[in-house]
Amino acid sequence: MNLLKALATISSLTMLSRITGLMREILIARAFGASDMTDAFNVAFRIPNLLRRVFGEGAFSQAFVPILNEYHGRRGLADTRALIDAVSTVMTWVLVAVSALGVIGAPLVMTAVATGFRGQSETYDAAVFMTRVMFPYIGLISMVALASGILNTWRNFGVPAFTPVLLNLCLIVAALFVGPHLAQPIYAQAWGVLVGGVLQLAIQIPALRRLGVMPRLSFDVRAAWANEGVRRVIRQMLPALLAVSVAQISLIINTNIASHLAAGSVSYLTYADRLMEFPTALLGVALGTILLPSLSRASADDNREEYSGLLDWGLRLTFLLAVPCAVGLFVFGEPLTAVLFNYGRFDAHAVEMTRQALVAYGTGLLALIAVKILTPGFYARQDIRTPVKIALVVLVITQAANSVFVPLFAHAGLALSISFGSSVNALLLFFGLRRRGFYRPAPGWGLFLAQLLAAVLILAGMLLWFTRTFDWIALGATPGLRIALMASCLVLAAVVYFGTLWLMGLRYSAFRRKTTDTAIRNPQ
């Protein structure tokens, strides 16, 4: 399998997802600005999103995918199908129970995660209502994660990568056509999330049927639990659950702190986070998605050279693409924020507040993406305890940083603490892989970093000149011109960056890589 081609497929579909996601945020920003109601929606949506990451895309995926790859490669299709059926049965009924408890206990959940809302009855009531509407999304999207893990094992990356687009389209339709007809327009977004979850699950079904691995649900949970593979997944999932929960606990604490800051703080962080998701998803999530199955196969084959080579390839691509993105967020943050969000009620003050959060996030972008490359290096070997220990250390460090940065920088201090914690996380993971002998840097890193530094310095100078030369807020009077100008600046900067690297001898061929694992055959 050509990894660069697979990365291009996932990244292009992820780009479509992020573009529609930005359109969604632009519409919400234009309709509602940064207000108490948008804070209520963002907090309410964050709760099922957090649990989705824990139960679905987080701990479950990290435990399930390596074991599924092992079954598929060693045990045959009958055992693989039995594992899929058993896992899907147990997972479905657990998530039904979690969703029901969330709907019933929404007031308690909201009181715990956003204590600052308790003195604002209208905001609190709106957040509770939207939490109840969106909580079933946890079950839907977690089943999507199960389906995506199966499809990725058979190297079908396209359908899972396209899936998030459907949620964004539902929220766009809700904002444009449903919200204006409701007494509280923001409620349309909550219903859009629920409908989006249904569609995201539905689109997986045809692909699973074509491969012959459509999960068959059963009411006999006891029989499903008796499957040896399910018990292995659960044993792996418990430490993974702790690792993922630590990161989400940190986010909950940060949300709670933000709810005590000035009105709009949660929204400023949300808008900045949306911009951060572009490079994080295009690089980190995409690379992690294609690396985990290949690393799992290399681990099962005890091919250490292939294993180390895959990690090295992922890290070099991360540096090549994440460093210029980080520089762009840090230096070009105001133009990006203004062009994307400075419409309607999203005024110059909101642009500046969001820019501050974006700059703080940008300082840790390289580390955030590197973590998504390094962590699968442990999970593929079914070593989940090491990332758990590191995550606990990072939680303490991040919250200690909050006590320093939040009094100095308010909401931007929360973003800066996350960046600092991510940097510590990446370093600990890197040295952990080195110490265990899982990763040995290939020759040529010194020259590569020197080439990168020269190109990045030129890029930073260009973007700084663009930022200071034009009044990006005033250009809002001619939005078409402002968009065209920003696009031209970014294209020119990219051409200069990659052109500089080419002149210094860096070639595309250095990043072409194919895995040595055999092609995944259709099970039918």
224-236: pLDDT as tens digits = 888 888 888 888 8
199-203, 215-219, 333-337: range with lowest mean pLDDT: 215-219
DSSP assignment string, 244-304: HHHHHHHHHHHHHHHHTSSTTHHHHHHHHHHHHHHHIIIIIIHHHHHHHHHHHHHHHTT-H
pLDDT at 519 over 50: no
pLDDT of residue 489: 96
Please identify which residue in the block is written with the tokens 């969604």. Answer: 24
Choose among 295, 276, 256: nearest CA to 114. 256
pLDDT at 500 over 60: yes
Task: Categorize the per-residue pLDDT at 521 as very low, low, confident or very high, splitting at 50, 70 and 90.
Answer: very low
pLDDT of residue 53: 64
| Residue 292, token pair as written in the block | 């985990």
Q: 46 or 67: whose pLDDT is higher?
A: 67
Mean pLDDT over 333-356 rounds to: 90
Residue 29 Cα distances to 172, 180, 263, 267, 338, angstroms: 12, 15, 14, 9, 12
**SS3 call for 38:** helix
Task: Categorize the per-residue pLDDT at 516 as very low, low, confident or very high, splitting at 50, 70 and 90.
Answer: low
3-state SS string for 331-382? HCHHHHHHHHHCCCCCCHHHHHHHHHHHHHHHCCHHHHHHHHHHHHHHHCCC
70-84, 211-225, 241-255: range with lowest mean pLDDT: 241-255
CB 25 within 8 A of CB 278: no
Choose among 374, 229, 292: nearest CA to 66. 292
pLDDT at 382 over 90: no
pLDDT at 258 over 80: yes
Q: 359 or 245: whose pLDDT is higher?
A: 359
Task: Categorize the per-residue pLDDT at 56 as very low, low, confident or very high, splitting at 50, 70 and 90.
Answer: low
pLDDT at 427 over 60: yes
pLDDT at 331 over 50: yes
Choose among 155, 148, 144, 60: nearest CA to 379. 60
Strand partners, 514: 2
Mean pLDDT over 105-128 rounds to: 79
Mean pLDDT over 90-110 rounds to: 87
Task: Categorize the per-residue pLDDT at 403 as very low, low, confident or very high, splitting at 50, 70 and 90.
Answer: very high
pLDDT at 254 over 70: yes
Task: Categorize the per-residue pLDDT at 264 as very low, low, confident or very high, splitting at 50, 70 and 90.
Answer: confident
Please identify which residue in the block is written with the tokens 């509770």. Answer: 128
Distance CA 281, CA 288 (A): 10
Q: 462 or 40: whose pLDDT is higher?
A: 462
CB 430 within 8 A of CB 374: yes
pLDDT of residue 416: 94
pLDDT at 434 over 50: yes
Residue type, 412: A
The mean of the pLDDT values for the chain is 86
Task: Categorize the per-residue pLDDT at 55 as very low, low, confident or very high, splitting at 50, 70 and 90.
Answer: low
Choose among 418, 139, 400: nearest CA to 255. 418
pLDDT of residue 425: 94
Instruction: Report residue 2: phi and psi, to 5°.
Output: -80, 110
pLDDT of residue 240: 74
Q: 12 or 245: whose pLDDT is higher?
A: 12
pLDDT at 511 over 80: no
DSSP assignment string, 50-92: HHIIIIIIIHHHHHHHHHHHHHHHHT-HHHHHHHHHHHHHHHH
| Residue 328, token pair as written in the block | 């762009």
| Residue 225, token pair as written in the block | 């639990």
Per-residue pLDDT tens over the stretch 131-184: 999 999 988 888 888 898 888 888 788 888 898 899 999 999 998 888 888 888
Instruction: Report residue 189: phi and psi, to 5°.
Output: -65, -40
| Residue 271, token pair as written in the block | 């808008």
pTM of the model: 0.77
Mean pLDDT over 243-265 rounds to: 78
Strand partners, 2: 514
pLDDT at 335 over 50: yes
